[in-house]
Each structure stands twice: as C-alpha cells, then as structure tokens.
Amino acid sequence: MRATALLAMTGQSIWLDNITRKLLDSGQLAAWIRELSVVGLTSNPSIFEKAIVGSSDYDSQIRPLIAKRMQSEDIFFECAISDLGRAADLFKPIFERTGGVDGWVSLEVSPLLANDTTATIAQAKDLHARAARSNLFIKVPGTPEGIPAIEELIFAGISINVTLLFSKAHFSAAADAYLRGLERRAVAGLPLGKVSSVASLFVSRWDRKTAPKLPTDLKNTIGIAVSRECYNAYCALYASDRWLALEAQGARPQRLLYASTSTKDPTLSPTMYVEALASPRTVNTMPEETLIALSNGSSIPTVLAPSDCSWRTTLDAACKAGLDLKACAQELQIEGRDSFNASWNQLIAKIDAKATVLAS
C-alpha cells in the first residue's frame, strides 16, 4: 500500500499545493486523485506566476481579454478562476461524498490587500460570486487586518482558507474569527453548515529562519514543534463548550492545515514534515515533489496524538538558546506577506509584458 493511502487512513487529508492548466489538460491531476489519495488543492500567486507566465498554455484565453482592454489583475483572475473552476468540478464528487469535508480548491485575494480589511471583504465577495463553486475557498491572510475580514466573510456565508499563520497565537486568532462569524450567523438565524474554513499554518519557513540562530541539535526542529503546539490547541478548541454549542447547530470545524511542508534543506528527508505531522482531522497541502516522494515511501511511522506535549521541550530549549518565538512568528508573517506581495507584483508585471507581446 502506498504511503499516501496510509496517511489518508490516519484521518489526514492530502491536498496538492499546485495548479496549472497542463495538470488539468494532461489528466495528471485526475490520476493523482485516483492513485495518490489527493482530495483537494491550494494555490497562491507564486504558483500561478509559474503557470501563466512560464508557458503558452494561457495565451489563447489572454488574447481576447486584451482585446477587451482588461487590466492585468483582472486577466489573472479570469485565468485563475477558469483553472480553479475546472479543478473544483473535478473534486466535486469528493466534496459530495465526504459531505463537504474534502474536495476543496482555493483562490487567494490580492496579497496587496493584506492590510486593508474593507477592500479584502469586497474582493473576496466578488471572487466568490465570479467563481460560483460551492467547493471553492477564498484565501484571506490571517494578518491583524485580515482577521476582522474573515469574521465578516464567514458571517456572509463565504468559506475561507486563512493563510499566513505561523504560531498558536495566529491560529487562535483565526479560529476565534471563524467562531465569531458562526455565532453571528446563529443569532441571525442563518444555517451554519453551509460555510467552512481551514487555518493554514506554515511549517518549513520556521526552520529556514531559525536554523542560523540555533545550536545544531535544535536546527530544523522548530517548525514541527510549533505545528504540534497548534495541533494541541486545535484539539482543545474543538472539545470546548463554545465549539460544541455551535456543532450542535450544524457547524463544521475549521480544520488545521499544514502548509509549506516541503523541506528546504537538501540534507533532510523530503517527507520529514509530512511524517512528523500525520494527525487526524487535519490537512497537509503538498507540492508535487513532496507528494511524489511520499508516494514512493513505505510507511507513516507515527500518528500525532492530541495529548502529545513533546513540543514543549523543544520550544523551551529554543527560548533558552535565545530565540524569541513571538517575535519570530510576527516577522515570519510580515515576511510572508511581503513575499506574496513581491510575487504578485512580479506576476502582474509579467502578464503586462505577455499582453504586450500577444497584442502585437
């Protein structure tokens, strides 16, 4: 049995962290759904930059949009919605079979709106309406300005993938926004089971940032420790009276999603984060390379238990070594936001350049 199937049997959902038109046209995505237990998909501006700008696959769609004098940002969203709509349709049987637990795809609002609550809400509503898919998440960053947008969008019935989370505090803020949105729906007499969410915790960026600051025995351990701390908090939250009251009214839990789970250090196993974070009722979204490496493996050595507190020892040792975990988490969120902004600006600039070539 493939390790991907074994991981799915632990109760963790495997989502692909990639989308290209070639994946759809070639049947590769459909094959991974059949053979590698892939039950969902995420995307971000960096992924689309490589897909749209790095190939001619989108040229036939872009040409008539140029003729309509459409701006580059709108051209991007037209291309992205086209791909993600097809992917959502491909995953729809899984969405229906699992009662909306899996079968999701994700479309991100412009990263440039990360510090603008009102604009984030407006664009999220517009993209949700344009995509017109019940199994499509709108990705919203869990920044201080994004948190109130998440609450408002959940209240409006729009399912959200909360991105750019790096710590227990970030996860708790995202979860609280989700619960507040649900509670407002309950007060308003609106159905709770029609809206869903995941909270995307970035893992490997912790180790890339902290490795130069830590002794050898602590290098490449912080991402896993922080993720396990968040899993502990996640399990506690969904055993709380607050959650159980909402669940009794039909609410769905906001699942913890492990993102950025490819190893950046070539000396490490490509499946290190996947194996360390196998845990029930969660999601792991993997790049193609990590998915293939996992499928070629033979086992999932352990399954994380809610009572596991081994992370405490690691994080305590890191603090004693001089690492300020709270400050690092905030820096990582800002750096992640800035990285997405840079990718977005590069994407739009390259679409501008491609449009100029195609128009001539």
Name the amino acid, one letter, at 115: N
Q: Where are the beta strands (DSSP E) in 260-301?
A: 282-286
Q: Are 166 and 136 in contact (CB under 8 A)?
A: no
CB under 8 Å to 219, separation ≥6 — which residues?
Answer: 207, 210, 211
Q: Are 108 and 45 in contact (CB under 8 A)?
A: yes
Q: Is 139 a catalytic site residue?
A: yes
Residue 49 DSSP code: I
The residues that bridge with 108 in the sheet, in sequence order, are: 139
Sign of the Cα torsion 118, 122, 125, 131 reads negative
- Alpha carbon distance 281, 258 (integer Å): 12
Q: Which residue among 22, 68, 139, 354 is the active-site one?
A: 139
Question: Which backbone phi and psi does 36 adopt, to 5 degrees?
Answer: -120, 20
Residue with tokens 């517009």: 126
SS3 state of residue 96: helix
Residue 105 DSSP code: E
Active-site residue list: 139
